[in-house]
Amino acid sequence: MGPLVIAALRQYDSELAAGALVVAWIEIHQEDLLADWHLAVTGKKPFPIRGLDNEKN
């Protein structure tokens, strides 16, 4: 494999990993997301939900 193919595969692999993290975050915060959705559709301000970068804090 050439360097461009290897670089493309690494990029693709990192995008898959990032996507998996987002899916895991959604699963962890499913109840919070649903509660915020109900607030938002009734015109109320949703509560903040910790992002992936703040999970360990």
pLDDT tens-digit profile of 1-29? 678 877 777 877 888 888 888 889 999 99
pTM: 0.67
Asked if residue 35 lies in contact with residue 47, where contact means CB atoms within 8 angstroms, the answer is yes
Residue with tokens 């499913």: 30
pLDDT class of 42 with cuts at 50, 70, 90: very high
Torsions phi, psi for 51 (to 5 deg): -85, 175
pLDDT class of 55 with cuts at 50, 70, 90: low
Domain edges within the chain: 3-54
3-state secondary structure of 42: coil
> At 20, which amino acid appears?
A
Per-residue model confidence (pLDDT) at position 1: 67
Per-residue model confidence (pLDDT) at position 56: 60
